[in-house]
Structures are given as structure tokens and as C-alpha cells.
Amino acid sequence: MQAQYNVQLSDSQKAQVARLVLEANAAYGESNNAQRRYLERVQARHGCRQLLEQALALEPDHAAAIGLLGRVAMDEGDLDQAAELFEQAWHCSRSSPSSTATWATGP
């Protein structure tokens, strides 16, 4: 598990992270859209990963971004990496009450 960072972001940086995560979610949805060609789905997954990496460069402990990165890893068949990312996301969300509600499991 990676160390947690306490990064103080400005409001504009927080907004940028939120936009990146929203765009990553949209790209992730496209990567699983059965109506898209395989190449389009792979490109969407790659774009999703890039957006998440940008968001995490600004806010390394962003639970939703880490969790979505875990879903990407799972889709790519890297189950060990996915499990590590899900655990990391869970720990990050526990330090942020607003994001804890997004997890279905208890403490």
C-alpha cells in the first residue's frame, strides 16, 4: 500500500481534479460500451488511465480516482493490482467522510 499524502489544494485545483475524474468516468463507461469497436474500447480505457494519472498527480489520495484505477486494472486482468488499488482507495476514503459513503462495505 502506498503512503497517504496530505495535500492542500486550491479550489481551482480541486475543481480540476473533479473534472479529470468525471472525464475518466465517462471514458471508463465508453471502454465498457459493447456497441463500440474493440479498438475504441481499448483507446477509451487508455484515456481513462491517463486522466486518472493526471488527477492523482494533483491529489494522490483521491479515493474515487484510485478506485476507478482499480476497476481499470481489473478490466485489464491485473487482479492483484486491482485488489491493491481497491484497498488503497478504501483507506483513503476512510480519512474523507464525504467519500466513505461511496463504499458498500463497512469499517
Per-residue model confidence as pLDDT tens digits over 75-92: 999 999 999 999 999 999
9: which DSSP letter?
-
Chain centroid, CA 23 distance in Å: 11
Place of cell 486482468: 77
pLDDT tens digits, residue range 9-53? 899 999 999 999 999 999 999 999 999 999 999 999 999 999 999
Backbone angles phi and psi of 4, in degrees to 5: -90, 145
Nearest to 72 by CA among 54, 53, 90: 53
pTM of the model: 0.80
CATH code for the domain defined by 11-100 = 1.25.40.10
Q: Which band of pLDDT confidence, cut at 50, 70 and 90, is reported for residue 103?
A: very low
- Map out the domains of the chain as residue ranges: 11-100
For residue 67, count CB atoms less than 10 angstroms from its CB and return exposed for 0-12, middle for 13-18, buried for 19 or more: buried
Rounded Cα gap, residues 74 and 69, in angstroms = 9
